[in-house]
Amino acid sequence: MNIKLIVSSSILVLMSSLAIAAHHEAAENPNEAVAVNWLKAQATGKQETIAYVKANLAEDGQVFGDRYVGFGFIWNPNVEGKMIIDRVIAGSPASKVLKSGDDFVEVNGIKVSAETMGQLSFRGKPGEPVKAIIVRDGKKIDISVARGIISNTSGKTELMSDLEMGDADDWGVELKVNEVLSKANVVYVWTTINSVDTQVNLPFEQHVVTRFVFNDDGQVEAIGNISEDRFVLEQTGYTISR
């Protein structure tokens, strides 16, 4: 009798059993369905997204946005040709200078208009000062803000406000769910998104991995993702240069 063969076979059977058990545990994890349906609602439309987030994001939930180099503010995209600040990110360079309601009229010598929105130099090398002119309470004010690294984290109130400002006509995307993995209260979802950049009318595709953390009540307490931002820029004709 080949003892080594028996032992090896037993180990293989045990490993297969554990793999099957893990698969069933993941398949039975209700958090996976919540995570996938969250992304499907987000891909479908504005009202679907708002309703799903409102119902499934914990009151103390946190949304971790992409890090970037810039000022650190959220502006209202619904006022055409203007850049009016809706919210300033706490701890950002902007928080020392700007307030909600400030209206940018010029950035580094470029007048703010519908045609120049993509030319304003808020992004770039950290530490570099950017000069701008804003209107506050009807008065023009000269400001200078040094760009910094922004960690854009939002709570539920801020996220709901940002969603309400979104353009319902420019919302939906084609979404494909490639893989879902979970362990305990953490769920990862790998998706492929296909959409069109409306500014240049060019299609793009990107892979996104979204990480959900759930509390004991089955609500999302933290969410963040990693996506192919540079790949999107290259598909839509943009370049990155110094």
pLDDT tens profile 206-224: 999 999 999 999 999 999 9
Over residues 88-95, mean pLDDT: 90
Kindly indicate whether the domain formed by 68-150 is annotated with CATH number 2.40.50.140.
no
What confidence category does residue 27 fall into, taking pLDDT thresholds of 50, 70 and 90? low
Of 212, 223, 217, 173, nearest in space to 194 by CA: 173
Q: Do domains 29-66+152-235 and 68-150 have the same CATH topology?
A: no
Distance separating alpha carbons of residues 132 and 129, to the nearest angstrom = 10
Q: Look at residue 17 in the predicted model and tell me its pLDDT.
A: 44
What confidence category does residue 5 fall into, taking pLDDT thresholds of 50, 70 and 90? very low
pLDDT of residue 142 exceeding 90, the answer is yes
Hey, which CATH number is domain 29-66+152-235, 3.10.450.50, 2.40.160.10, 3.30.300.20, 3.60.20.10? 3.10.450.50
Distance separating alpha carbons of residues 215 and 236, to the nearest angstrom = 39
Over residues 70-82, mean pLDDT: 86
82 or 4, greater pLDDT: 82
pTM assigned to the model:
0.76
Read off the DSSP letter of residue 240. Answer: -
pLDDT tens profile 96-138: 999 999 999 999 999 999 888 878 888 888 999 999 999 999 9
Query: 87: which strand partners?
Result: 74
Of 87, 80, 68, nearest in space to 159 by CA: 87
Mean pLDDT of the chain: 87
What confidence category does residue 67 fall into, taking pLDDT thresholds of 50, 70 and 90? confident
The b/e string for 119-130 (b: 16+ C-beta within 10 A; e otherwise) is: ebebeeeeeeeb
Distance separating alpha carbons of residues 179 and 25, to the nearest angstrom = 15
> Is there a contact between 40 and 49 (Cβ–Cβ < 8 Å)?
no
Coil/strand/helix, residue 222: strand
Residue ranges per domain, the chain?
29-66+152-235, 68-150
What confidence category does residue 242 fall into, taking pLDDT thresholds of 50, 70 and 90? low
> Is there a contact between 32 and 211 (Cβ–Cβ < 8 Å)?
no
